[in-house]
Amino acid sequence: MSDITLIINGKKVVVAKGEVENVLAEFDVDEIAELLQFRYATPWNHGKDILEKLLYILEDISYLYSKNPDMKKEDVIRDVKLRIHANINK
């Protein structure tokens, strides 16, 4: 098993080896959208829009668990769908 970790950090995916402090690279939404475009023939603007929305959802999930690590998955899904306690720092 690899000790490479992918971390969602704001609008970036951070690649770290071992400890989180050992960052190897950061890929922003534009770069990931470009990879999506070339690999799956997805129009750049459509891919970027989907990725931005995905990152917002992942950010909300992270925010909710950071506030209450004991939340049930079902409650997190409900809160994200209804934008309850959404991270307002977007």
Provide CB contacts within 8 A for 60, sequence distance 6+. 79, 80, 83, 86, 87
Q: Is residue 40 classed exposed, middle or buried when 0-12, 13-18 and 19+ CB atoms within 10 A define those classes? A: exposed
pTM higher than 0.75: no
pLDDT tens, 12-40?
777 777 777 778 888 888 888 888 888 88
Q: In 46-70, which positions are buried (b, 16+ CB within 10 angstroms) versus exposed (e)?
A: ebbeebeeebeeebbbebbeeeeee
